Chain A
């Protein structure tokens, strides 16, 4: 290791002879938490915005007299006269009463796509949802620009994020180790981590920003190529939604791994930067 992130100079030996390294730089930690806050509010305000027209389409426009829909969440009255929440995915209907389409207590049913506990504000308010969404969209994009520039300059991107050939070759082994709940803690990102972080940081985040801009009629005039790139405003809206789901999926796995790999150590490393290595790495990477 000849990089500053794991500079042997920074390695300190603790009283109990456990080895800690400085794992995350300040800029990595700050951008991580800024994103965490911004993405949380972007998600909840985004679901508020989705509720204003809870249907997704492919193409430039929304089919009202023709069908180009791929997803919708609608309340629908069944044969017994009861209103059910029906979620339609690519033409298949699912009864999601209680959460999607129809939610809330029996006496005060709310007919809304996403329930009150998943939106900001909790009540139906598209105007405020948009205010929150666009404020944190600015935060998110600004933090992304800072992270990207810093990570190019300090080598974080090349060293820790971009998977190399070695990472691709190591992938089957890392995968089987993870399935067996065997986690290695040598301070470096393993090939699975690199791959998932590269996907999120270099594909999902830019996709979110660009599909978001594609929905702006002003930006359509400024950068009409956005519409060509994504195949129309409504397709961009659908991609925005799908990438949201992928990011939520990443978040679930991310939290799972933090708990599985040792929540105290992992949280400390993202707050203070210090990360404790497995004993067997004492003399290994910390040459």
Chain B
């Protein structure tokens, strides 16, 4: 007959000892290696560059993110992050229903511009029903209307050494003990010129509400929500991100999130 290498009783003993060590294997022993500027974390984070390169290779430049039908708009767009900025400059504009709002376009452009909301609304528009994916894990389908960013960039005339578009925002976010900083974000020229990348002023058929980024926010449909800056004050075209904010290309990036958020 086959023989038992381990009896049931002895097995339970061994298994009990093994199981009791599981919590010890838990996770604070890795915390040091993964903190802030530890080189181990830096090495692991380099996988994001690999993901960025491969997705740029795999996804045709103008390939659209999936769009949905009206029937799939089943709820309002969930507001997240800043939902009611209290910065004085923003409050002054909001009180006058953004009549004095100007979108500042500067940096590596031939013709720096200041655009009113009416000017933006009179430019060719695009409406798209897309899925907003938050880095936290949830998704929400909504209809966005706005002017393609490529159109604004063309009017301003982008210089040949331009590599990134930076969005500067009205809302300040906490940096913990380091005080606070204005929200900002950045994308490469491929996403900046993507047909679905719009400066949105409309949501689900109405004017963009304050909670969702009024008067202007950007939609970058092939990346996660934190890339899609709200309360946009200015657009700056640059060749280098290291001199802006914390130097990593965005408010969340400066706190450790990946710059490329297509995953």
Interface residues of A (CB under 8 A from B): 44, 49-50, 52-53, 55, 57, 60-66, 116-123, 125-128, 130-132, 134-135, 137-138, 177, 181-185, 215-222, 224, 227, 233-234, 237, 255-256, 259-263, 265, 278
Q: Residue A117 contacts which of B26, B256, B262 (CB distance < 8 angstroms)?
A: B26
Establish whether residues B59 and A63, one from each chain, have CB atoms under 8 Å apart when the complex forms: no
Establish whether residues B257 and A217, one from each chain, have CB atoms under 8 Å apart when the complex forms: no
Establish whether residues A52 and B137, one from each chain, have CB atoms under 8 Å apart when the complex forms: yes
A116-B27, A138-B47 known; A217 and B133 CB under 8 Å? yes
Establish whether residues A255 and B18, one from each chain, have CB atoms under 8 Å apart when the complex forms: yes
Establish whether residues B136 and A177, one from each chain, have CB atoms under 8 Å apart when the complex forms: no
Establish whether residues B31 and A220, one from each chain, have CB atoms under 8 Å apart when the complex forms: no
B207 interface hit (Cβ, 8 Å): no
14 A-B pairs in the complex with CB atoms less than 8 angstroms apart: A55-B138, A63-B75, A116-B28, A117-B28, A120-B30, A122-B31, A128-B256, A130-B257, A131-B47, A216-B262, A217-B65, A217-B131, A217-B262, A218-B263
Establish whether residues B18 and A120, one from each chain, have CB atoms under 8 Å apart when the complex forms: no
Question: Quick one: CB contact mask for B31-63 with A, threshold 8 Å, 1 for yes?
Answer: 100110000010011011011000100110001
The residues of A that contact B74 with a CB separation of less than 8 Å are: 61, 63, 65-66
Q: How far is the CA of A183 from the CA of B18 in the complex (A)?
A: 21
The residues of B that contact A233 with a CB separation of less than 8 Å are: 131, 133, 139
Q: Residue B15 contacts which of A44, A118, A256 (CB distance < 8 angstroms)?
A: A256
Establish whether residues B50 and A138, one from each chain, have CB atoms under 8 Å apart when the complex forms: yes
Q: Residue A60 contacts which of B59, B63, B141 (CB distance < 8 angstroms)?
A: B141
B134 interface hit (Cβ, 8 Å): yes
Establish whether residues A217 and B137, one from each chain, have CB atoms under 8 Å apart when the complex forms: no
Establish whether residues A61 and B1, one from each chain, have CB atoms under 8 Å apart when the complex forms: no
How many Å from the CB of B142 to the closest CB on chain A?
Answer: 9
Establish whether residues B1 and A219, one from each chain, have CB atoms under 8 Å apart when the complex forms: no
The residues of A that contact B11 with a CB separation of less than 8 Å are: 256, 259-260
Q: How far is the CA of A194 from the CA of B64 in the complex (A)?
A: 42
